[in-house]
Structure formats: structure tokens, C-alpha cells
């Protein structure tokens, strides 16, 4: 009602409202250093007016609520920017580690090791009778094999580390999802009761930002204050009110891929750190698998090509014994289907010569024939017929010359010797297993330099054709369907990885700028400005003082009315 008591009620409402403004402003100032805090404002509206014959008169001020200052559009933009940045940063970290493992360009990288090996083999061709150059060539071969194994081991460790990191991130995501579910329940209780759970909303938004950094998600806010959080692209619902799903991570043995599961079902991830980690771990183009595959192809080709030359070449002395390093799955099965790492070409032949060790003269020769039906047991029988002792054990073939004799091989048209790994230069099948033959390490004189005459078996003095052929592998087009040499192939690998790393660095730099820009825009809306808070504080202070003065004035007027009547 319009009276002095009505005026007193107006003053009372103003005191309460401005006291709340002062407290809210003080809370903003107290939390000004927190990046996860959204500044708050008290919403004041005029109370319902009183209608008089002369018109309406105001009845004071009412607090409509205390709200956070947030821009949902900017929040959504920030989530998308964070998802992209997280993905790019994860990929960049992986590529930088691969580059560090390869160590290119440097004097300690694989490229330098390849170059030094082929240079050392060239020296053998230049000085075919020199023991020192043979020893040096084998030392360089061991260094190259060691570098290949080191890088391969590093890539395998990197893959395992990525798997561990994926599992760790899944655990982090599940913890954040549980927190969002709990906060959903608390927020709903406050909202239904008519309150403003601003601090709870800040905590939940912080948790949602944390999830978005790790995995691509979309959110849907409901009127009761809860939200629904789902994987982007219809991958499944992660949080719905207080119901929370659990993410998992599994390895597919068939594809050697790591993938995420939701409720036991595989789901795809389109952004966030998790997407970057999964790409780095699973993709065959430009990441760990690419580097491993290229390295294994390089090592396998190096093994096959050098073994092809070594097995059918002539060293300073003939062989006394030789054994295959690659075991067949079944000695009675055809070699073409026996699971050898290098294919056998059929039909094919290989000539074996035996020599008198005292004179070096050719003692005999035989031609070993390989057909589509030839088994390892068949080969043993043929070698036995050629004057050698031959036995099969554990899927491998062992050969030995008769007393006082040695043997050499010539013109292997069926690729039999490198397929079995007989008289090999390198052992192993890929970058993780490559090593210099133990026989060569023990006796460098077994390193071939020339070739026996395929008809007579005689080794010409000073023949260096085998050493030249081995040195020529540096430039011979043996990879990519005859389009690339070993050095070309590795250079291409480095080029692809370098280009991918440069792209990743650029994307991270650009996306970091975008994310910071959006974050700054969010700060302008939600961040606490001490200058603005001081203005609000001063306004509330003056309004409070004026309201208090109004109470004093009304009190004096009431005193005049009451006490004046007594007189």
C-alpha cells in the first residue's frame, strides 16, 4: 500500500538486493584468478507496482536470480577447436618421436649407415684380395643391421606407448564422465528447487571441456539443468542425466588396430587427442605403421638382394658347411607353399661345384632342379647325390662337404639359396631381426668377391663382380616395382614423414591460434574483469547507502507522525 510503511518496504527491498549485488561482486573478485570460473550477475527487476486512483506507483525491486555470464555459441566453438587441437597435438607428438628415432638428416641416421655400408663394399671390389676391407665391410654391415634393429625396436616401443596412452586417456574420460553424471544429479536438484547452481555448472563445464579435449563429443542441455553428452557422429550416448556409459579400448588381432568400445560395441572417434592417438597407432599412411612397414620392406629387400649375391658368389675359399636359416613348415611339402619368407621361382636350377681343398681344383659338379613339387627332403636327396652330406632337421637343411673338399654354388635361377637362407650374408627377415651371418662374422674370408664360372666352376683371379654387384644395390632399382633403389626408397620414406611432420606442426600452430582467439572471446564474456567489478561494487555501494538513507528518512517521518500526535 502507498504509505510510509510502503516506502520502508521499498527501502528494505533495495537494501536486500544491493547487499546481494555486493556479495556476488565480492565473490567475482575472490575468484578472479580462476580460469574455470564464470563471473556472475544479479538480475534485478522492478516489483509489481501498486495501482492507485492517480496511477501506478512502484513497490521496490525484486531479485530475479543470479546467473552466470556465458555464451553457448562460443562454448561450442571452443569445444570444436579443442577437439581439433588435441588431435593435431597427438599426431605431432608421434611424428616428432618417429623423426627422432630415424635421426635424419644426420651422420648417425640410417641414410648415413646405408651409405657407409655400400662405400665399404665398393672398397672390397677395389681391393678384392684385401682382408682388412672385408672386415671393414662386415663391420659396416653390422652397424647398419644394428641401426635397423634399433629403429624398429623404437617404433615397436612407440606403438606400445601409444596403446598405453590410449588406455590411460580412456580411464581419464571415464572419470570425467562419472563426474559429469554426479554433477547432473546435483544441478537438477537445485534447478528443480528454483535455485541457480552456478558453481556446479562451472564444474560441469570444466569437465565437459576436459572430455572434449580427449574425444569428440556433442552436448544437449535440458530444461531441468542436466545435459546429454554423446560421441560426435552418432557414436553413442556417454552421459544422459545421471546415467553414465563406460568407454573401453581393445586390440584387434586380425587387423593389429586399437579401437574404442562403448557398451562392448566398437565406436569411431572423429576428434580430440584420442583420434590423434588412434590415427598414430592404426593408420598405415604416414605414422608408426607406415614407418615400420617401410623399414621392414627396406630390410627384407636388403637381406634378399645381398643374400642372392652372397649365396651364389665365390669367396677366397670354398664352403665346408652350410645350413639354411629359414625353416619350412613341412619338409615333405612343396617349397613353393612351405612358408618361406622369400619366394622360390619354379622351374629353376642351381649348380653346385665341389673342390679339392689342397689344390683348389674342381672335383665335381651337379645341377639341382627345383619344380613346383620339389620338397626340402627332395633337395636333400639331390645334394646328397652331388657328393655332399645333406640332412633335414627342424625344417632346415644342413650341407657338408666330404673330407678334403669344399663347395660353391653358381647360377641360382630358382632363387633357391636366398629363399632358404643358405650361405647368407644377412640373417633375419625384417628390420627387427636383421643381423650379419654368424659364419661371416667368424670368418670374413667367406665374404664373396667374384663368381664361379657357371660351366667350369673356376674362379678367375681378381674377379670382383660379386662385390661390384653388392655395391651396385645402392642404385639398383629393386623396390617399388623397379622404380626405386634402396637409397631412393629410404629417402622417399624420410620425405613422406618429413612432409607429414611439417603439416602437423603447421596445423598445431594454426589451431593453437584459433583456440586462443576463441578462449579470449570466452574470457571477455565469462572472465572476471576487476575494473568492471569495481564499477559494480561502487554502484551497489551507492545504492545501498541511498537505501539506508531512505530508511533513516522514513524512520524520522514515522517518528514525527507518531510523536507529533502525542503533542
Tens-of-pLDDT digits for all 567 residues of the chain?
Answer: 567 777 788 888 888 888 888 888 888 888 887 878 888 888 888 888 877 888 888 788 888 888 888 888 888 898 899 999 999 999 999 999 999 999 888 888 899 999 999 999 999 999 998 999 999 999 999 999 999 999 999 999 999 999 999 999 999 999 999 999 999 999 999 999 888 898 999 999 999 999 999 999 999 999 999 999 999 877 899 999 999 999 999 998 888 999 999 988 889 898 899 999 999 999 988 899 999 999 999 999 999 999 999 999 999 889 999 999 999 999 999 999 998 999 999 999 999 999 999 999 999 999 999 999 999 999 999 999 999 999 999 999 999 999 999 999 999 999 999 999 999 999 999 999 999 999 999 999 999 999 999 999 999 988 999 999 999 999 999 998 889 999 999 999 999 999 999 999 999 999 999 999 998 888 888 888 888 878 888 888 888 888 888 888 877 777 777 776 655
CA distance 87 to 77: 16
**pLDDT for the residue 172:** 96
**pLDDT for the residue 30:** 87
Distances (CA, A) of 355 to 20, 358, 365, 387, 388: 107, 9, 9, 11, 11
**pLDDT for the residue 1:** 53
Question: Residue 502 is placed in which grid cell?
Answer: 611439417
Under DSSP, the state recorded for 552 is H
**pLDDT for the residue 556:** 76
Q: Which residue has the cell 659364419?
A: 439
pLDDT digits 0-9 by tens, 153-169: 999 999 999 999 999 99
Q: How far is CA 318 from the centre of its chain?
A: 50
Structural domain boundaries in the chain? 4-69+528-566, 74-87+160-277, 320-422
* CB-CB contact of 436 with 76 (8 Å): no
* CB-CB contact of 352 with 341 (8 Å): no
pTM: 0.84
CA distance 519 to 276: 22
- In this structure, CATH architecture of domain 320-422: Sandwich (2.60)
CA distance 74 to 210: 16
The residues with which 390 forms a beta bridge, in sequence order, are 399
What is the four-CA torsion angle of 17, 19, 22, 27, rounded to 10 degrees? -100
CA distance 308 to 489: 20
Of the candidates 178, 102, 94, 183, the one whose C-alpha atom is nearest the C-alpha of residue 500 is 94
CA distance 323 to 329: 16
**pLDDT for the residue 566:** 59
CA distance 110 to 470: 18
Look at the chain and count its residues.
567
**pLDDT for the residue 2:** 62
Amino acid at each position: 500500500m502507498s504509505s510510509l510503511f510502503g516506502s520502508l518496504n521499498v527501502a528494505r527491498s533495495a537494501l536486500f538486493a544491493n547487499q546481494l549485488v555486493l556479495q556476488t561482486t565480492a565473490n567475482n573478485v575472490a575468484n578472479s584468478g580462476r580460469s574455470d570460473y564464470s563471473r556472475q550477475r544479479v538480475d534485478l527487476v522492478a516489483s509489481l507496482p501498486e495501482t492507485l486512483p492517480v496511477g501506478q506507483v512502484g513497490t521496490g525491486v525484486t531479485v530475479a536470480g543470479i546467473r552466470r555470464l556465458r555464451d553457448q555459441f562460443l562454448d561450442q566453438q571452443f569445444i570444436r577447436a579443442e577437439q581439433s587441437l588435441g588431435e593435431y597435438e597427438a599426431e605431432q607428438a608421434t611424428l616428432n618421436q618417429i623423426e627422432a628415432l630415424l635421426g635424419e638428416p644426420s651422420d648417425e641416421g640410417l641414410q648415413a649407415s646405408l651409405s657407409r655400408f655400400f662405400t665399404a663394399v665398393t672398397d672390397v671390389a677395389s681391393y678384392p684380395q684385401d682382408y682388412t676391407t672385408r672386415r671393414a665391410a662386415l663391420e659396416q654391415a653390422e652397424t647398419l643391421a644394428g641401426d635397423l634393429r634399433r629403429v624398429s625396436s623404437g617404433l615397436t616401443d612407440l606403438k606400445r606407448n601409444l596403446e598405453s596412452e590410449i588406455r590411460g586417456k580412456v580411464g581419464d574420460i571415464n572419470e570425467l564422465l562419472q563426474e559429469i553424471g554426479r554433477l547432473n544429479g546435483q544441478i537438477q536438484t537445485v534447478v528443480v528447487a528454483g535455485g541457480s547452481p552456478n558453481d556446479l555448472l562451472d564444474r560441469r563445464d570444466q569437465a565437459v571441456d576436459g572430455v572434449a579435449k580427449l574425444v569428440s563429443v556433442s552436448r544437449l542441455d535440458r530444461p531441468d539443468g542436466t545435459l546429454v553428452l554423446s560421441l560426435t557422429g552418432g557414436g553413442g550416448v556417454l552421459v544422459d542425466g545421471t546415467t553414465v556409459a563406460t568407454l573401453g579400448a581393445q586390440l584387434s588381432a586380425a587387423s593389429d588396430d586399437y579401437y574404442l568400445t562403448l557398451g562392448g560395441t566398437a565406436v569411431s572417434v572423429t576428434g580430440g587427442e584420442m583420434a590423434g592417438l588412434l590415427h598414430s597407432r592404426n593408420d598405415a599412411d604416414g605414422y608408426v605403421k607406415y614407418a615400420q612397414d617401410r623399414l621392414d620392406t627396406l630390410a627384407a629387400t636388403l637381406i634378399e638382394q645381398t643374400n642372392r649375391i652372397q649365396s651364389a658368389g665365390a669367396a677366397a675359399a670354398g664352403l665346408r658347411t652350410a645350413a639354411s636359416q629359414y625353416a619350412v613348415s613341412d619338409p615333405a611339402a612343396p617349397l613353393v607353399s612351405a612358408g618361406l619368407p622369400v619366394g622360390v621361382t619354379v622351374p629353376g636350377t642351381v649348380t653346385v661345384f665341389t673342390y679339392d681343398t689342397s689344390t683348389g681344383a674342381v672335383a665335381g659338379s651337379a645341377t639341382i632342379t627345383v619344380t613346383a613339387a620339389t620338397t626340402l627332403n627332395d633337395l636333400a636327396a639331390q645334394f646328397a647325390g652331388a657328393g655332399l652330406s645333406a640332412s633335414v632337421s627342424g625344417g632346415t637343411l644342413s650341407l657338408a662337404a666330404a673330407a678334403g673338399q669344399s663347395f660353391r654354388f653358381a647360377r641360382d635361377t630358382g632363387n633357391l639359396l636366398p629363399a632358404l637362407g643358405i650361405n647368407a650374408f644377412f640373417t633375419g627377415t625384417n628390420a627387427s631381426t636383421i643381423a650379419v651371418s654368424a659364419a661371416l662374422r667368424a670368418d670374413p674370408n667367406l665374404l664373396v668377391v667374384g663368381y664361379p664360372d657357371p660351366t667350369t666352376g673356376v674362379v678367375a683371379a681378381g674377379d670382383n663382380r660379386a662385390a661390384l654387384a653388392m655395391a651396385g644395390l645402392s642404385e639398383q632399382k629393386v623396390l617399388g616395382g623397379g622404380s626405386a633403389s634402396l637409397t631412393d626408397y629410404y629417402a622417399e620414406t624420410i620425405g613422406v614423414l618429413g612432409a607429414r611432420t611439417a603439416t602437423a606442426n603447421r596445423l598445431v600452430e594454426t589451431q593453437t591460434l584459433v583456440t586462443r582467439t576463441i578462449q579470449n572471446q570466452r574470457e571477455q564474456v565469462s572472465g572476471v574483469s576487476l575494473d568492471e567489478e569495481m564499477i559494480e561494487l561502487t554502484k551497489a555501494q551507492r545504492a545501498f547507502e541511498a537505501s539506508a538513507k531512505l530508511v533513516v528518512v522514513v524512520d524520522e517521518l514515522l517518528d514525527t507522525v507518531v510523536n507529533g500526535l502525542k503533542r
